Structure 1
Amino acid sequence: MAAPLDLDQLQTFIAIADTGSFTRAADEVFRTQSAVSMQMRRLEERVGKQLFEKEGRTNRLTEDGERLLAYARRMMRLNREALSALDDNRLEGSIRIGTPDDYADRFLPEIMARFSRSNPRVELSVLCEPTVNLVELIRRGQLDIAIVTHDDEKSPSEVVRREPLLWVTSANHMVHEEQVLPLAVGRPTCLWRQATLDALDRVEREHRILFTSWSATVIIASVLAGLAVAVLPECALRPGMRVLTESEGFPPLPDGRIGILRGHSSQPEIVEALARHIAESLDNISLPAPEDTASFDFAAMNLAVRGRRHKPGQMAGW
């Protein structure tokens, strides 16, 4: 039987992938640079693949390295969960988390499942509100942690994920070809709304706001019904939608950024544990499986979506 992978080597491997440097990774894992190099030689021998290639002074992952990285992150998370589940001194208490409803629908099940497995004695209380409301609730001390749409001015959160914002229409209707483009957008405080209107103004495309809502469900329903075009992050794509491209007259949009806001909690250790689970989950959640997205126009999506995968620290409501 093949020998199992060494978790210490995988931890060092992840540190190098995240920092791009053997030297910085050595500081992260409290080892000498020579010890880190030895670990990576042994790991490459173990898997029989080259994992890194030099690009100037930076160590880049090879294609095989990228494949191993996804497994390494999962194995390290599972290791932490197992140790936490068997820890007699594990966390206990309650925590209040807020998130916009579109992030709740896409990300929260994975986050809650992983956190609850590791911390079964912690009670989670979830509130779904727009980002602007969550920022105020954090300020008032009525939430412990929130997943928000990052705003450099209003919500200087810790950015943990970056996703393309995409123009979307119904795959079964031609509403995007109307002379005056009907839009479904968030309330006036929504960053995506402002990005939508600014982009259309730049190309002098006539438009009218047909639906305004803080609910992602309402926006998505209006698109699927063929009533309006909307701007959504990649994570919000649904079967029955089609991504619109520059060749069809829809200008490029800025990336959407998802961040974490922490409140002044009396249980900071629980907040930090949940923040770590959020960051790890958002960095590794992929798009819906192909069988769930049969009616997506993936050719159009591929033109609009570039560089989906980002590392924590580099990166992504209403």
Structure 2
Amino acid sequence: MEMVYCDYKNRNMRFIMDLNALKSFVMVAEALNFTKVAERRNTVQSAISSHVTKLESELDRTLIIRGRGQSMSLTPEGEALAVYARRLLSLAHEARETIQTSRSRRIVRLGTTVTLAMSIVSDVLAAYATERTNVQIHIQCDRSEALLSRLGANEIDIAFMMDQGEPKNRAFVHSQPLAWVSGENFQLRSSDDVPLAFLSDGRDLRRYALEALDTVGRKGHVSHLSPHPIGVRAFVQAGLALTIMPMLCLSPPLQIASTDLNLPPLSQVALSAYTKSPHNQDINLLIEMLKKRLM
């Protein structure tokens, strides 16, 4: 028997609500007929009446007016209880579903960068969910440099990021072409310095861009910084600067910068996945899907 136990010490009042009785009461409140509710609940009318009487006794209030030869009706207290009873029954159902589901579902904790989460990772989530219906993926976003530490502290199961040059626990490393990225209306004369937007701590991509420009004798300067990829995206989308990113991470309205800008080719960037649980099938499947998406 499921109960809702209430203890109001400051009012010196204590009562226990039987969820089964609440269910009967809600059905009576809707049907206003004990016989019909008894039939629906596959029980006898006296049992339904007993449920309502029990609630009235616990609350010390009349909930239903049972006039002889008259239609049944709810008292104001009955109307109020019907509202709360529906909430309690809904919460009880939600709690049961959550606990039972969490017991049967497994969890894979993926750590990645915001940029990769919004592009490559999102591309594989639907396919993974189809393959592993009983696995929940928890995504935690952080800087590439911080993800290895979080993996070492067992805060995540997989770290998917720009390669950190650390072979320990590395599941794969795959090179990806970088692209100059602009907004739709970005304009630049060939004689102008190239304005660039990067993450505040995006030193690696910044270096790739400036070194590429230097090889062709062209000047570039970091005109905009943001601690978050959305901020970088806003600067680029507004046409205020260029940035660079792995080509697979590109999404509209950002686009590959026009060849009319005469920008130099870029080197490739290495993306890696790390894990300390190489024998876990759920983890391995997600790693394989990420690897396949990069190829």
Q: 2:221 & 2:176 partners in 1: Cα distance?
A: 26
Length-normalised TM-score, structure 2: 0.56
In structure 2, relative to structure 1, the CA distance for the partners of 1:120 and 1:103 (3 Å cut) is same
Which string of whole-angstrom CA distances, capped at 9 and with x for unpartnered residues, describes residues 90-144 of structure 1? x952221011111111122332222222222222211111211212211222111
Conserved in 1, the CA contact under 8 Å of 2:171 and 2:272? yes
Query: For residue 234 of structure 2, what is the aligned residue in structure 1?
Result: 221
- Aligned pair count reads 192
Q: 1:188 & 1:101 partners in 2: Cα distance?
A: 13
Q: Does 1:268 align with 2:280?
A: yes
Which string of whole-angstrom CA distances, capped at 9 and with x for unpartnered residues, describes residues 164-216 of structure 1? 21112223131465723211012345421211122223333222212223432
Query: For residue 245 of structure 2, what is the aligned residue in structure 1?
Result: 232
In structure 2, relative to structure 1, the CA distance for the partners of 1:187 and 1:122 (3 Å cut) is same
Conserved in 1, the CA contact under 8 Å of 2:119 and 2:250? no
Q: 1:155 & 1:174 partners in 2: Cα distance?
A: 44
Conserved in 2, the CA contact under 8 Å of 1:150 and 1:159? no
User: Of residues 158, 163, 167 in structure 2, which corresponds to 1:150?
Assistant: 163
- Aligned residue type for 2:220: H
Query: For residue 214 of structure 2, what is the aligned residue in structure 1?
Result: 201
Q: 2:148 & 2:276 partners in 1: Cα distance?
A: 9
Q: Does 1:124 align with 2:174?
A: no
Q: Does 1:277 align with 2:289?
A: yes
Match of 2:265, SS state, is coil
Match of 1:253, SS state, is coil
Q: Per chain length, whose mean CA-contact separation is higher, i.e. which structure has more relative contact order (CA < 8 Å, sep 6+)? A: 1
Q: 1:177 & 1:260 partners in 2: Cα distance?
A: 39
Length-normalised TM-score, structure 1: 0.53
Return 5+ residue gaps in structure 1 as ranges: 1-90, 284-309, 311-318
In structure 2, relative to structure 1, the CA distance for the partners of 1:123 and 1:176 (3 Å cut) is farther
Q: 2:166 & 2:258 partners in 1: Cα distance?
A: 29
In structure 2, relative to structure 1, the CA distance for the partners of 1:173 and 1:251 (3 Å cut) is closer
In structure 2, relative to structure 1, the CA distance for the partners of 1:177 and 1:126 (3 Å cut) is same
Q: 1:200 & 1:141 partners in 2: Cα distance?
A: 40
User: Of residues 163, 184, 195 in structure 1, which corresponds to 2:197?
Assistant: 184
Larger Rg: 1 or 2?
Answer: 2
In structure 2, relative to structure 1, the CA distance for the partners of 1:206 and 1:110 (3 Å cut) is closer
Return 5+ residue gaps in structure 2 as ranges: 1-103
Which string of whole-angstrom CA distances, capped at 9 and with x for unpartnered residues, describes residues 231-259 of structure 1? 12212333344534677442221112322
More moved, 204-213 vs 172-181: 172-181
Conserved in 2, the CA contact under 8 Å of 1:144 and 1:262? yes
Which string of whole-angstrom CA distances, capped at 9 and with x for unpartnered residues, describes residues 24-74 of structure 1? xxxxxxxxxxxxxxxxxxxxxxxxxxxxxxxxxxxxxxxxxxxxxxxxxxx
Q: 1:155 & 1:101 partners in 2: Cα distance?
A: 23
Match of 1:196, SS state, is helix
